[in-house]
Amino acid sequence: MTDHTVKSYDRDLESLGRRISEMGGVAEKMLAEAMDALSNLDVELAKRVVASDARLDTLQREIEESAVMTIARRQPLAIDLRECIAAIRISGDIERIGDLAKNIAKRTLKIASEARLPRAIVGLKSMHEIAATQLKDALDAYALRDEERARTVWMNDADLDALEDSVFRDLLTFMMEDPRNISFCTHLLFCSKNLERIGDHTTNIAETVVYLVTGESMPLERPKARPGVLGAGGDASHE
Amino acid sequence: MTDHTVKSYDRDLESLGRRISEMGGVAEKMLAEAMDALSNLDVELAKRVVASDARLDTLQREIEESAVMTIARRQPLAIDLRECIAAIRISGDIERIGDLAKNIAKRTLKIASEARLPRAIVGLKSMHEIAATQLKDALDAYALRDEERARTVWMNDADLDALEDSVFRDLLTFMMEDPRNISFCTHLLFCSKNLERIGDHTTNIAETVVYLVTGESMPLERPKARPGVLGAGGDASHE
C-alpha cells in the first residue's frame, strides 16, 4: 500500500468508529427516555423515542455498507479486518438495542390509558439502571479498546437475568392479586423482556470488543448465550 | 481472473448456498418440533429441540467467516458481492429463527407441569401454520432466486401480525376468566411473540432475496418493519 492508500484506509476506519459512537449515543438516549416515558406514562416523550429510531437504522445501513466496501476494496487482514467485522457486529447490536427501547416506548403508548400500578414499575427501573450502566461500559470498552472492561460487562450480564426472573414473578403476583392488573402487567412483562434483551445485545458488544482486541472469541459458557461471529444473530438464545 | 480462480470462486458460493440450505432445513424442523412439543407438553422432544440449536450456531459462524473471507480475497462486485452479503444476512436470520424456536421449546419445559388449557394453544397453532408456510416459501425463494415468491412472502407477513393481536386478546381473556390460567397463559404470550418474530425474520429473508436478485432494497413501507442492509438487525421493530 502507498502512504496515500494507508491514510484513506485509516479515514475509512475512523469514520466507522465515529458513526458507531453516534449510534451508541442515540441508543443510550432512547433507552433513558423510553424508561422515563414508561415511568410517567408520558405519551409525547414515547412518540419522540419511536421517531428517533429511524436515525439508528440509517446509520446502521451506512456502517454496514462502508465496512463491506472497505473489506472488498482494501482486502484487510488481521486487526484491520477485525475492525470492519466489529463495526458490522456492533452497529447491528446497537440498532437492535434501539428497536428494543422503541418497543418499550410503544408499550407506553398502549398502556397510557389503563389503570396504573406504580409499584409494578419499580423492578423495571432497577433493571434499567443495570442495563444502562452495562451499555455505557460496553460502549466505553469499544471506544477505548479496553478488553478488561469488556470482560466485566460480559460477567455482569447474569445480574440482569436474575433481576428479570424476579420481576417476572412479581408481575405474575400482581396479576393474580387483581385481574384488573392483568393487561397493564402483561405489557410490563414484555418491557422487562425487552430490557433483558438489551442486556444480551450489550453483552454481544462486549464479546465483539474482546474479539476485536484479542482476535479470539469468548468461551461458550456465557451465562446464557453463546457468541456469534459476525451478525447481530449472536444473542437472544435467552429470548 | 483465471479460469481456475473463477471455478474456485464458484465453489465458494456453492458452498455458502449449500450450508444455508442445511440451516433452513434445521430451522424448519426445530420450529415444527417445538410446536409439537408445546401442543403435547412433550418434555423430551422440547429438550431435543433445545439441543439441536447448536448446529445452527456453528453453521452460521462458518457461513459468516466464509462470506467475509470470500469478499476479502476475491473483491467481488455486483451480483457476486450481493451473493456474499445475502449469505451473511440470511444465515443470521435463520440462526435467530432457530433461537426463537428454541425459546418455544424452553417455555414448554417451564409449563409442562402446570395446569393445562388446550384451547389456549389453538391460536398458536394457527400462527405456526402461517409461520411455517412463510418460512418454507422464503427458503424456496432463496434457493430458486425467485423474486416474485419473495415479494409474496413479504406481503403476507401482515396476516401473522393480525393473528398475533387476536391471540394476545384471547390469552388475556383466559387470564381474566381464571387466575389459575395466568402463569400458563403468560408463557404462551411469549410463545406467540416468538412466532410473530419468526415471521419478521422470514420477511427479512424475503427482502434479502429481492435485494439479491434485483440489487434493490425493499421499500420502507413494510407492514411493520424496515429492511436492514446486512445483518440480522433488520427486524424486530415490531418487537
Could you write out the three-class secondary structure of B210-233? HHHHHCCCCCCCCCCCCCCCCCCC
In single-letter form, the type of residue at position B31 comes to L
State how far residue B61 is from chain A, nearest Cα, in angstroms: 5
Alpha helices for chain A (secondary structure H): 3-40, 43-74, 78-111, 118-144, 147-177, 182-214
Nearest CA in chain B to A73: B75
- Residues of B in Cβ contact (< 8 Å) with A71: 68, 71-72
pLDDT of residue B224: 53
More confident residue, B238 or B161: B161
Residues 6 or more apart whose CB falls under 8 angstroms from that of B234 comprise B89, B204, B207, B225, B226, B227, B228
Average pLDDT over residues A214-229: 57
Nearest CA in chain B to A184: B172
Q: What is the DSSP letter of A113?
A: T
pLDDT of residue B5: 63
- Residues of B in Cβ contact (< 8 Å) with A172: 182-183, 186
Judge whether B158 and B203 are in contact, CB under 8 Å: no
More confident residue, A186 or A239: A186
Average pLDDT over residues A30-40: 97
Q: Which of B17, B29, B154, B24 is nearest to B86 (CA)?
A: B17
* Residue B80 burial (C-beta neighbours within 10 Å; 0-12, 13-18, 19+): middle
Listed range (A140-149, B58-67, B126-135) with the worst mean pLDDT: B58-67
Question: Does the model's ipTM exceed the 0.85 cut?
Answer: no
As given in the structure block, the three cell numbers for residue A183 are 393487561
In this prediction, residue B228 has a pLDDT band, given cuts at 50, 70 and 90, of: very low
pLDDT of residue B166: 95
- What pLDDT digit, counting tens, does each position of A122-170 carry? 999 999 999 999 999 999 999 999 999 999 999 999 999 999 999 999 9
Residue B189 sits at the chain A interface (C-beta within 8 Å): yes
Residues A71, B76: C-beta atoms closer than 8 Å: no
In the predicted structure, residue B223 carries a pLDDT above the cut 60: no
Residue B100 sits at the chain A interface (C-beta within 8 Å): yes
Judge whether B164 and B198 are in contact, CB under 8 Å: no
Average pLDDT, chain B: 87
Average pLDDT over residues B167-175: 95
Residues 6 or more apart whose CB falls under 8 angstroms from that of B116 comprise B41, B184
Judge whether A158 and A130 are in contact, CB under 8 Å: no
d(CA B31, CA B54): 15
State how far residue B103 is from chain A, nearest Cα, in angstroms: 6
Nearest CA in chain A to B97: A233
pLDDT of residue A231: 36
In the predicted structure, residue A43 carries a pLDDT above the cut 80: yes
More confident residue, A226 or A73: A73
Cα-Cα-Cα-Cα dihedral sign, residues B11, B13, B17, B22: positive
State how far residue A78 is from chain B, nearest Cα, in angstroms: 11
Residues 6 or more apart whose CB falls under 8 angstroms from that of A231 comprise A88, A89, A92, B60, B64, B88, B89, B91, B92, B95, B230, B231, B232, B233
Per DSSP, the three-state class of B4 is helix
